Amino acid sequence: MQYYDSNSVIYLNGSFVKAAEAKTDLYGQSLHYGLAAFEGIRAYKTHNATRIFKAAAHFERLQRSCELVGIPYPWDNKELIKKTYRLLEKNNLKDAYIRPLVYSDPNMTLIAPEKANIMICAWEWGAYLGDKQLKVCISPFQRPNPKSTFVEAKISGHYVNSILATTDAKKRGFDEALLLDANENVAEGSGANIFIEKGGKLYTPALGNILAGITRATVIELCHMLDIEVIEKTISVDQLKNADSAFFCGTAAEIIGIHTIDDTVYRQKWSDSIGSTIQRAYKNLVLEKVNYEVII
């Protein structure tokens, strides 16, 4: 996929520059060791104007990710949000995926950097996992152990794990991978959180071994608004496979139903599931067709 062309502009350390002309140093920790923090954000064309969905929450998490691993973060988030809207205007984007990235100055040691850089780019990108129910496999790769890193931080190096899991799943004929945690309980997809439905309730893995997804939090808020009970708890593989239905959620993926886990087929029709209700409510929310945020 072509993410930019000769006219594409990015935001880089306070300036707007042509993406094709932007440069970075080849001696940085971010390139060599994966020490960088990023966010995935979406902007939607609404009936009012283009709106970046939960921009403040995303930039706050970006700052928190940097703080956890010792990457300097000298920027003002409100100013970064303004610059992001300006970036969309410069690229004539109404619906867009936005990628801020904080990366280190040249530093070949294994000590956190003293200075950092910020880049923000954007491009048109449909739902990452498509719009069809997914065939999912349980991956042989586990999510990182929380005793080995800060799993709640969105750090670039963590996604080597996701690449391994997704590549393995695709080679085996599946659409996506589901990873377990160090205790062999359900964690999350390679780039999305998971919810399961059982007996009219939704369940999702509790925080501790997963990324605290902003879309995950939005789903929980919508459930409270719609009077749907949602429970955060440890979920075993048996509970996953004996559920009535399941879905992934994430900024890139949005809300997408799961058809099968390994050879287990969810028998409930997606259109009859709670996930389908949440999918519609989420789309209405981001497009401002129904302003749930006034209430939640």
Q: How far apart are the C-alpha atoms of 212 and 205, rounded to whole Å?
A: 10
Name the catalytic one among 18, 54, 154, 198: 154
- Nearest alpha carbon to residue 122 among 81, 167, 62: 81
- Nearest alpha carbon to residue 84 among 104, 58, 63, 61: 58
Check if the beta carbon of residue 261 is closer than 8 Å to that of residue 246.
yes
Is residue 154 annotated as a catalytic residue, yes or no? yes
Query: Distance from CA of residue 17 to its chain's centroid?
Result: 26
Q: Which helix (H) or strand (E) holds 84?
A: helix 77-90
Residue 82, classed as helix, strand or coil, is helix
**Residue 149 neighbours by CB under 8 Å, 6+ apart:** 155, 158
Q: List residues bridging with 48 in a β-sheet.
A: none
**Residue 6 neighbours by CB under 8 Å, 6+ apart:** 18, 20
Q: Which helix (H) or strand (E) holds 135?
A: strand 134-138
Q: How far apart are the C-alpha atoms of 248 and 39, rounded to whole Å?
A: 18
Phi-psi region of 41 (alpha: psi -120 to 50; beta: other; left: phi over 0): beta
Check if the beta carbon of residue 30 is closer than 8 Å to that of residue 104.
yes
Residue 18, classed as helix, strand or coil, is strand
Query: Distance from CA of residue 250 to its chain's centroid?
Result: 5
Residue 23, classed as helix, strand or coil, is coil
Residues designated as active site: 154
